Each structure stands twice: as structure tokens, then as C-alpha cells.
Amino acid sequence: MCPFLRSKEASSHSAPTISGFLEGLANHQKLDLSFDFVAVLQPTSPLRDARDI
């Protein structure tokens, strides 16, 4: 479960994916959570296999 919601700006229909992504990373940093790697697996790009990841 995600402990926060995206802002109005980052969740609008015209907002680019990167804005929500960066906002999410910033919110996790505020909770003292960090990641070695992150990935965006968009459902609009379904033609991938394990080698692509």
C-alpha cells in the first residue's frame, strides 16, 4: 500500500509520467526510504520480456 497520493498536478490526464514518478521518489525519501534501482513498467508498452528488465 502506498502511504501517499499524487498531487493534483502530477495526477492530471495531461501530466507526464515522470512528474508522478519523481514526486513518488521524493515522498519516499521524506519517509527515509531509498532504492538502489527503480523501474517504470507502463501497461502501454506490454511487449517486453525478462531480458528487457
**∠ CA 1-34-46 to the nearest 5 degrees?**
60
- Answer whether 0.85 is exceeded by the pTM: no
> What confidence category does residue 32 fall into, taking pLDDT thresholds of 50, 70 and 90?
very high
SS (H, E, C) the chain: CCCCCCCCCCCCCCCCHHHHHHHHHHHHHHCCCCCCCCCCCCCCCCCCCHHHC
Per residue in 1-27, pLDDT (tens digit) is 677 888 999 989 999 989 988 999 999
More reliable by pLDDT, 48 or 6: 6
Length of the chain counted residue by residue: 53
**Chain position carrying cell 501517499:** 4
